[in-house]
Structure 1
Amino acid sequence: MDSTDTPPEELSEGELFTEYVELLERNAPTDGYTKTKLKRRRISLLSEIGDRLEELEAVKALLCDASIDRAGEAAGRADSSTEIGIDGE
């Protein structure tokens, strides 16, 4: 089975990048149909790479927001416990 038969969304990240680079480096003379087919495949691979990068950035943003929220809550608890200690003296 040729790798170009596999839909990009079913490829691993390594397979995506490897195939994309191989297609970019391909220098063999091709006819119009083959050239168009290869260009279409490169576009599909690049689109999938972009989609995965967007997902990664979204997850990264969520994780950063969650860690900032937790840090803020921890700081808030530390401030309130300090205030209680001062009032209790």
Structure 2
Amino acid sequence: MSKHHIEIRRGERLGHQALIDGTDIACSLAGLTLRLDKDALPRLELDLLGPGIAECSDLDAQLIVSQGAAETLRALGWTPPADQP
């Protein structure tokens, strides 16, 4: 599992900043949970905002990842598909 530098701080006006390796992902966060277990690296679980899908079955569709979501995922180590702008 890769390690990342995390900073959470109050924003300039309202809200907050949540930086992962220098990228602010606050606009893509619904919440987070920080676990501090003995003899282990801290574990940060992110609840990302996204479309609500109750059920999906046998669907062909083009998936578009917003710029904010893509930046968040890249900060977490995601490599986008070659056809993803």
- Using structure 1 for the length normalisation, give the TM-score: 0.26
Higher helix share: 1
The answer to which structure has the higher strand fraction is 2
Structure whose CA Rg is larger: 1
- Name the TM-score, length of structure 2 as normaliser: 0.26
Q: Does 1 or 2 have the higher relative contact order (CA < 8 Å, sep 6+)?
A: 1
